[in-house]
Chains A and B, each alone.
Chain A
Amino acid sequence: SQQGEEDPQALSIQEGENATMNCSYKTSINNLQWYRQNSGRGLVHLILIRSNEREKHSGRLRVTLDTSKKSSSLLITASRAADTASYFCATDRRSGGGADGLTFGKGTHLIIQP
């Protein structure tokens, strides 16, 4: 079953603007990860945030985690055309009572207009 649900499903913004994507999940987690997927390619890991962390930064990326609301957000600042991709949140299955591996949402498709 899908643990994470991203919102919105699709997002189109102008280059230079900020992009915010949200993820909600259902069970308790040990960590939450964000991945990027360019069309027809594999996923690339962006950032991992643990359940005892509230915010994490990596370059132009900022991830927040609110375990009380079971939600996370990914902010991409000063967007570039190369940021056009699908973005997925993923939670570890083990903390949700499952075994190993990750549970992914359906993703947010981000389009950056030049």
Chain B
Amino acid sequence: DGGITQSPKYLFRKEGQNVTLSCEQNLNHDAMYWYRQDPGQGLRLIYYSQIVNDFQKGDIAEGYSVSREKKESFPLTVTSAQKNPTAFYLCASSARSDQPQHFGDGTRLSIL
């Protein structure tokens, strides 16, 4: 089955700690995206990548970093500089930027 896998499903971060969220897709999509969702809110774009070894900041990139070394993988690191990291993080991919996006089932990040 083709799709997007996000792991872990739940993640806890200690103060001052960096954590990395995994996103893997086997849809052979070029474009990948990271969104943040807060309770009762829509999604906000953190970073996106249209091609391997290239990525761009979205609306709320501060305190986050990404890499795109392989087409299938687009990990997101939540750094200690992100002061309010508690949220639901969603990864998505699409064949092209104007095509529908396929989403993973998300990672819920909380602060210890």
Q: Enumerate chain A interface residues (CB-CB to B < 8 A).
A: 1-2, 4, 30-31, 33, 35, 40-45, 48, 88, 92-94, 99-107
Contact = CB atoms under 8 A, between A and B. Distances in A.
Given A1-B59, A88-B42, A105-B42, A43 B100 contact: no
B90 interface: yes
A100 B100 contact: no
Given A42-B90, A43-B90, A101 B48 contact: yes
Interface in B75-107: 90, 92, 97-106
B45 interface: yes
A57 B56 CA distance: 34
9 contacts: A42-B90, A42-B92, A43-B43, A99-B48, A100-B31, A101-B33, A101-B48, A104-B44, A106-B40
Given A99-B56, A101-B33, 15 more contacts: A30-B98, A41-B105, A43-B90, A45-B100, A45-B102, A48-B100, A88-B42, A92-B97, A93-B45, A100-B31, A100-B33, A104-B35, A105-B42, A106-B41, A107-B42
Chain B's interface: helix, strand, loop or mixed, by majority? Answer: strand
Contacts of A30: 98
